[in-house]
Structure formats: C-alpha cells, structure tokens
Amino acid sequence: MRVKRGTAHLKRRKNLLAKTKGYRWRRKSSIKLGHQAVIRAGQHAYRHRRLKKRDARALWQVRINAAARQNGLTYGQLINKLIKAKIQLDRKILATLAAEHPAVFAAVVKKVA
C-alpha cells in the first residue's frame, strides 16, 4: 500500500511559518526563505546566549569598579583583597550590593581594607 505524506508535509510547513511570524518581507510567507531565516535566527540566538553572559559580567565589573573607587580602592585591588580575606562573594552579588545597597558594599570594603 502506498504511504502518503501530505499531512506531515503540511504540518512541517505550518510549524515553519509559525516560527517566522513577525519576520519581514517574503521570509514570513515563503518556505525556502523562511527556512533560511529560521536557521540564521537560531545561529544568532545560540551565539547571543553566550554573549549575554559575557556582557553581564562586564557590566558587573564596571559597577563594582565605580563603587570601589568611591570607597578608595580600584576594582583589581578590591578583588585581590577579597580573595586574600577569603570572602567568597561573586561579582554578581557585589554588583547588586554596589547598586542597591551602597552601605553594605562600603562595609564589605572596610572589612577587607
């Protein structure tokens, strides 16, 4: 008996067009161009999931440096003294303290200085 694959074919196209919703020009309605656009979008998404982490860490470092300089240290000096004092606060927490709780951050700096 012959196997007909029209249902699977239409479902695959429908799912592809659902992924291209919101795209511009023919990429939202054409199967071939839509497929290319979805593949490229996936590549960008994969790469930017990693870049997002890198950008976040850079932002934390800038915030910590700004707050550390207000307390008489540089970023590098502060991190070095934290390591020597065996205070295990990561950069995300330090940046949050610097931005939202400057008094607590100043207390941490005084503890290591």
Tokens of 103: 């008094």
Listing DSSP states for 58-110 in one string gives HHHHHHHHHHHHHTT--HHHHHHHHHHTT----HHHHHHHHHH-HHHHHHHHH
Do residues 91 and 60 touch, judged by C-beta distance below 8 A? Answer: yes
For the cut 90, the answer to whether the pLDDT of residue 109 exceeds it is yes
What span, in angstroms and rounded, lies between the C-alpha atoms of 73 and 106? 11
Q: What per-residue confidence (pLDDT) applies to 3?
A: 86
Q: What is the pTM of this model?
A: 0.73
CATH architecture of 6-112: Orthogonal Bundle (1.10)
* Confidence check: pLDDT of 1 > 90: no
Domain spans, the chain: 6-112
Q: Are 95 and 57 in contact (CB under 8 A)?
A: no
Q: Which residues contact 33 (CB under 8 A, 6 or more apart)?
A: 26, 27
Each residue's pLDDT tens digit, 43-88: 999 999 999 999 999 999 999 999 999 999 999 999 999 999 998 9
Neighbour count for residue 32 (Cβ, 10 Å): 9
Q: Is the pLDDT at 15 greater than 90, yes or no?
A: yes
pLDDT of residue 113: 80
